[in-house]
Structure 1
Amino acid sequence: METTTATGGVDEPGWDVDPDDEIASVVEALGHQQKRWREAAGLGVAEFATAMGYGEDQVRKVERGARIPRPEYLDRADEVLGANGFISAMKEQMAKARYPKKVRELAKLEERAVELSLYSNHNIHGLLQTEEFAWALLSTWRPALSKSELERAVAARVARQSVFERSPAPELSFVQEEVTLRRPIGDTMVLRRQLERLLEVGQLSNVELQVMPTLRGNHPGTAGLIEVLKFGDGTAIGRSEGAFASRPVSSPRQLRVLELRYGIIRAQALPPGESLAFIEQVLGET
């Protein structure tokens, strides 16, 4: 979401960088590269900013590595400077840089995983959320996120969903508590589109999406969220709000506890076909 400066340029071409974040060096390198291309083209900062359609101050922030530029900014800079794709090629790195620091490691793990088992009892899992649902959900956080923080958090959450486009595709298992389908996050249309997204994902051949009915009161998911990610080398990592102080674990003994709980949860939840029919029913009631 961009705003226009008083001089007509577009403000905020991206997200501010925490100088203590290890990703800062990557963003700084991009800024140096842009500056070299700009100078080679014989353009001053003001001329370049005008050609870009961004404010001069914003261009300076990118060049000194203080701001993570958006994909559209990089494409425009590549075009204006005649960089032949060298600047645009940084889009993937900048997409990863925009993840908040605490999300970055999770995204790396999800990219490596060949199997993901995910149980959510409070909200629809982040990998399943539409952008507008994520925006509405994250807007409820307190203390409230700033506009920049909110944009960055939503962008990072949506970007993680590239897991559905990987080849070879990982095996994905989701179990959602019924209440997460009914909680009115955003307005009615936001919720309806979210439910439609669940139905769409549930049709994928590598995805099993199940619903745990509220009437199933006696199951180990009452302790909270469970996530288990398995990797191609045979290792795994897991986390649960109700075990091991919510810390990530990787020892076989600890993972067995999480896999035991998740296995029982899957057995007690509705089968995938019945779950999709259940979601359709909720959609019809919304």
Structure 2
Amino acid sequence: MSVDGEVRRLSEEADEPGWEVDPDDEWGVAVITTVGRQLRLRRERVGMRAAEFATAVGYGEDLVYKVEGGKRIPRQEYLDKADEVLGAGGLVAAAWEDVKKVRYPKKVRELGKLEGKAVEIALYECHIVPGLLQTPEHARSVIGAAQPPYSPDDVERMVAARLARQSVFERSPAPALSFVLEEGVLRRPIGGKMVWRRQLERLLEAGRLHNVVLQVMPMDCDTHSGLDGRIELLKFPDGTAVGRSDGAFSGRPTSELKHLRVLELRYGTIRAQALSPRESLAFIEQLLGET
């Protein structure tokens, strides 16, 4: 790619939605404000004007002012190029480890932290494919269908956050993951045929992993213990756990032993009522063949 082409690519990426700072996220605002201030001080220290710096890193001058003013989350490429131009010896580039977390909503970061620590994750979803299993296109379709609608920036921010949680599949040692999905959800072609085909393929890929158990609750099941809604259980290395259910304890997360026993009973019963993992994968394969 030519230099001009690279500059255009970086400029276009800089204009992508989802890179604004959430004003209600105090920690995120503090991180981006601090990084922006350091960038400005380093730029001024080497005697570069904003316009010169913008040309050197391949981004627009307006974006440079937004980043330095704590109004825009810089991409990793921006920080890498800034580090090189300013001769920061890796100190600016290293800020990406904190900066990348700011793009994700606060409550999703907190959920991601819990999932990142859990050795077991069990989830029953009744209305959607679990976020941990969604493809980018499917996630965008689901989030974009909300009413009232989210802004394009918010949609992209939420999609990025949902996909970031999927790093749980890359952990070593791998956590034990259990999912129960409703047949009706699997038959709804959210996003159109091609998006839905890819989502079904993703479910098959995940369901075949050695640390994943994926089951389908069939529509013809005459007994269903999950009618109260979603259930999530997370267990940690120290033996503690946290759980939540739409139909219990006001839907709030709980770590009380007696509450966890109720959720574990409900989830275990749901798993017993669902198709076996082998039958579930065969069922998804059948659906894929019908699309």
Q: Same fold (TM over 0.5)?
A: yes
1:163, 1:8 → 2: CA distance? 30
Q: Which moved more, 1:267-276 or 1:61-70?
A: 61-70
**Counterparts of 1:1-286 in structure 2 under 5 Å?**
10-11=14-15, 15-23=19-27, 24-286=29-291
Distance 1:148 1:122, change over 3 A: same
Query: Is 192-201 or 12-21 further displaced after alignment?
Result: 12-21
Instruction: List per-residue Cα deviations over 1:129-176 (Å, max 9, x = no partner).
Output: 011110111110111111111110000000110000011111110111
Q: 8 Å contact 2:18–2:156 — kept in the other structure?
A: no
Deviations 1:168-218 (A, max 9, x none): 111110111111211111010100001111111111111111111111142
TM-score normalised to structure 2 length: 0.90
Residue 169 of structure 1 aligns with an amino acid whose one-letter code is A
Confirm or deny: 8 A CA contact 1:238 1:258 kept in the other structure: yes
Residues 13 and 54, structure 1, Cα contact 8 Å, conserved in 2: no
Separation in 2 of the partners of 1:227 and 1:246? Answer: 11
- Shifted more, 52-61 versus 124-133: the winner is 52-61
After superposition, the Cα gap between the structure-2 partners of 1:171 and 1:256, relative to the gap in structure 1 and judged at 3 Å, is same
Once residues 120 and 12 of structure 2 are traced to their aligned partners in structure 1, the CA distance between those partners, rounded to angstroms, is 48
Question: Is contact 2:141–2:191 with CA below 8 Å preserved after alignment?
Answer: yes
CA distance in 2, matches of 1:9, 1:163: 27
Task: Quote the offset at 1:127 in angstroms.
Answer: 0.4
- Whether the 8 Å CA contact 1:9–1:54 is kept in 2: the answer is no
Which protein has the bigger strand share?
A: 1
* Separation (CA, whole Å) in 1 of partners of 2:38 and 2:149: 35
Distance in 2, matches of 1:159 and 1:249, equals 24
- Please tell me whether the aligned partners of residues 13 and 58 of structure 1 are also in contact (alpha carbons under 8 angstroms): no
Shift of the 59–12 alpha-carbon distance from structure 1 to 2, 3 Å rule, reads: farther
CA distance in 2, matches of 1:132, 1:18: 23
Give the whole-Å Cα distance in 2 for the aligned partners of 1:130 and 1:22. 30
Structure 1 gaps of 5+ residues are none
1:221 aligned counterpart, secondary structure: coil
My pick for the range that moved more, 45-54 or 79-88, is 79-88
Between the aligned partners of 1:13 and 1:246, the Cα distance in structure 2 is 32
Describe the SS at the equivalent of 2:82: helix
User: Which amino acid in structure 1 is aligned with residue 15 of structure 2?
Assistant: D
* Aligned-pair Cα RMSD in Å: 2.0
Kindly tell me: are residues 61 and 14 of structure 1, through their superposed partners in 2, closer, same or farther at Cα, counting changes over 3 Å?
farther
2:73–2:99 Cα contact (<8 Å) kept: yes
Contact 1:8/1:53 (8 A) holds in 2: no
- Measured in 2, the distance between the counterparts of 1:187 and 1:212 equals 23
Tell me the distance in 1 between the aligned counterparts of 2:82 and 2:250: 46
The count of corresponding residues between Structure 1 and Structure 2 is 281
Separation in 2 of the partners of 1:237 and 1:21? 24
The 2-side partners of 1:94 and 1:13 are apart by 16
Distance 1:113 1:227 in 2: 12
In structure 2, what is the Cα distance between the partners aligned to 1:188 and 1:113? 34
> For structure 2, which runs of at least 5 residues remain unmatched after alignment?
1-7
Larger displacement relative to structure 2 (30-39 or 7-16): 7-16
Normalised to the residue count of structure 1, the TM-score between the two structures is 0.92
Q: Percent identity?
A: 63
- 2:131 and 2:48 map into 1 onto residues whose CA distance is 43
Q: What is the DSSP-based 3-state SS (H/G/I as helix, E as strand, rest coil) of the residue aligned with 1:118?
A: strand
Kept in 2, the 8 Å contact 1:10–1:53? The answer is no
The alignment partner of 1:158 has SS state of helix
